[in-house]
């Protein structure tokens, strides 16, 4: 049996890893986006006292290697009597870490949105949350779609770190096959193909978003 | 309860960084009346208009819409919450110099968004009412296009439809034609003229002298935050009481 045939016969291991990676990625991406949006909303909200701690959180996250955060959640928190499963630790680290990045991306675009649009919404009686959700956020997403797509790909790649805290995702699958059959080259090449495939799908959806944006005159990204 | 005009402004004052922009301004606008506010730039006219719906918070004085106080609670004289303000603001429609349409929404959605999110209309009802008002400003065919494809005049007409669809009692116009190319001014003014004939109460900050002369019932002239002339248009334009207004009109004629 060639090395490739060995891999083919254990394709279930890859599929399981692929499924886990995609699940972790989708959950984390959605939650991180929601967290980022919420952070931006709270930073411009009625409570100025919140602004500083939120800023510190965002900067603190951005200035820290993701791997350290994953380690901290899985190996560090038990010393505080907080025991998370590998999945819980991994996913919550991804959400907090990338949520901070999403917040920073959205906020950067937020400050350049014309204030007249908000005045119009205010004059029409919009509440703050519905103004943010219906008027502001969709525009921020359209404007930042390029950087957002990039950040999503970084998030995808960060899921690979979770192998270190025993999550059975794609990289873990390749790792275990490569050590079981001693075929690291082929195993890791296959896994690269999987990451490329997911990234290409992401790029494609960002392109679709781009088309929506162009129709509306958002051609900056 | 005393009888109030549709809009009554009493002793309004406002400063920005120590500069007084409005000083003790009082103005009554009755139902169906069209009032033009003139004045050179920096005279405080836009600030006055923006105070009426509390986009700008005055330092002193009070504003009532149909007797209902805006911005400050009647019982406790505490500032209103955004929600309380929104309720009073439903009586006021505002049109801005820069149109302020939302670029990510279609023309129709620009009109229906507040109907759905603020007034709680069902999608179908909102759509119907939205189309009705787009029709009114002659923009129904453009319902499914996006603001970036419209000319300035068309954008402003959509903005007017958006404000009208909320069925306000009073329409506030903040220099609605100042950002338009000269050849596009007419279409917006003609929509506004129709509204005045339908009996809308309108307060208009403008530089359009002909429009102020022909359409308004009352012309107000602001100078350095003080109302120095308030009269019917024929008096204002033919025989103004103040020297300052006379000079303003001459300069306008010369230009």
Whether B166 sits inside 8 A of A218 (CB atoms) is no
Instruction: State the pTM of this model.
Output: 0.91
Whether B100 sits inside 8 A of A116 (CB atoms) is yes
Asked if A93 reaches chain B (Cβ–Cβ under 8 Å), the answer is no
Mean pLDDT by 10 residues, chain B (255 residues): 78 93 95 94 93 95 94 89 93 96 97 96 97 96 96 97 96 95 94 94 94 95 94 94 91 80
DSSP state, residue B79? B
Could you read off the pLDDT of B61-72 as tens digits, one per residue?
999 999 999 999
Contact A124, B166 (CB under 8 A): yes
What pLDDT does residue B2 have?
54
Could you read off the pLDDT of A149-204 as tens digits, one per residue?
999 999 999 999 999 998 899 999 899 988 888 888 888 999 999 999 999 999 99
Could you read off the pLDDT of B140-164 as tens digits, one per residue?
999 999 999 999 999 999 999 999 9
What pLDDT does residue B230 have?
94
Contact B209, B238 (CB under 8 A): no
Domain-wise residue ranges, chain A: 3-215
What pLDDT does residue B102 have?
97
A4, pLDDT greater than 90: no
Asked if B108 reaches chain A (Cβ–Cβ under 8 Å), the answer is no
What ipTM score was computed for the predicted complex, to two decimals? 0.93
CA separation, residue A78 to residues A19, A24, A82, A85, A162 (Å):
28, 22, 5, 10, 17
Domain-wise residue ranges, chain B: 101-167
Contact residues on chain A for B163, CB-CB shorter than 8 A: 123-124
Whether A130 sits inside 8 A of B117 (CB atoms) is yes
Q: Is B3 helix (H, G, I), strand (E, B) or coil?
A: coil
The two three-digit tokens of residue B51, written as one number: 């105070």
Asked if B102 reaches chain A (Cβ–Cβ under 8 Å), the answer is yes
Contact A221, A213 (CB under 8 A): yes
Asked if B16 reaches chain A (Cβ–Cβ under 8 Å), the answer is no
Q: Which helix (H) or strand (E) holds B230?
A: strand B226-231
Asked if B162 reaches chain A (Cβ–Cβ under 8 Å), the answer is yes
Task: Please state which CATH class domain A3-215 belongs to.
Answer: mainly alpha
User: Per DSSP, what are the bridge partners of residue B92?
Assistant: B170
Report the 10 Å Cβ neighbour count for B75: 5
A77, pLDDT greater than 70: yes
Among A123, A128, A135, whose Cβ lies nearest the Cβ of B102? A135
């Amino acid at each position: 049996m060639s090395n490739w045939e060995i891999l083919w016969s254990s394709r279930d291991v890859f599929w399981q890893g692929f499924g886990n990676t995609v699940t972790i990625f989708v959950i984390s991406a959605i939650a991180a986006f929601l967290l980022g949006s919420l952070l931006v909303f709270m930073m411009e909200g009625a409570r100025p006292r919140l602004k500083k701690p939120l800023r510190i959180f965002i900067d603190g996250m951005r200035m820290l290697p993701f791997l350290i955060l994953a380690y901290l959640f899985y190996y560090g928190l038990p010393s505080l009597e907080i025991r998370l499963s590998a999945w819980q630790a991994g996913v919550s680290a991804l959400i907090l870490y990338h949520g901070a990045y999403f917040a920073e991306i959205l906020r950067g675009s937020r400050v350049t949105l014309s204030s007249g649009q908000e005045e119009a919404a205010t004059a029409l009686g919009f509440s703050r949350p519905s103004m943010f959700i219906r008027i502001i956020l969709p525009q921020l997403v359209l404007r930042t779609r390029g950087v957002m797509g990039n950040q999503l790909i970084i998030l995808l790649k960060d899921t690979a770190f979770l192998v270190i805290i025993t999550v059975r995702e794609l990289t873990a699958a390749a790792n275990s096959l490569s050590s079981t059959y001693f075929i690291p080259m082929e195993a890791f090449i296959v896994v690269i193909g999987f990451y490329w495939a997911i990234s290409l799908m992401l790029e494609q959806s960002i392109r679709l978003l781009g088309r929506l944006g162009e129709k509306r005159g958002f051609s900056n990204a | 309860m005393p009888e109030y005009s549709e809009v009554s402004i009493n002793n309004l004052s406002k400063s920005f960084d120590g500069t007084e922009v409005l000083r003790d301004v009082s103005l009554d606008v009755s139902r169906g009346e069209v009032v033009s506010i003139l004045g050179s730039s920096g005279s405080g006219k836009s600030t006055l208009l923006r105070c009426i719906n509390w986009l700008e918070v005055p330092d002193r004085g009070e504003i009532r819409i149909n007797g209902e106080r805006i911005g400050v609670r009647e019982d406790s004289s505490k500032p209103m919450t955004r929600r309380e303000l929104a309720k009073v603001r439903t009586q006021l429609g505002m049109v801005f110099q820069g149109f302020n349409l939302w670029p990510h929404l279609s023309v129709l959605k620009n009109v229906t968004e507040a109907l759905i999110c603020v007034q709680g209309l069902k999608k179908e009802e909102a759509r119907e009412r939205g189309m009705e008002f787009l029709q009114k400003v002659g923009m129904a065919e453009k319902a499914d296009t996006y603001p970036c494809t419209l000319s300035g005049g068309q954008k402003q007409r959509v903005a007017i439809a958006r404000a009208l669809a909320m069925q306000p009692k009073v329409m506030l116009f903040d220099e609605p034609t100042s950002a338009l190319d000269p050849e596009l001014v007419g279409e917006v003014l003609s929509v506004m003229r129709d509204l005045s004939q339908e009996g809308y109460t309108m307060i208009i900050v403008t530089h359009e002298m002909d429009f102020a002369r022909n359409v308004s019932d009352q012309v107000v002239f602001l100078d350095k935050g003080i109302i120095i002339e308030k009269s019917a248009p024929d008096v204002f334009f033919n025989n103004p009481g103040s020297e300052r207004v006379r000079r303003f009109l001459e300069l306008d004629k010369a230009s």
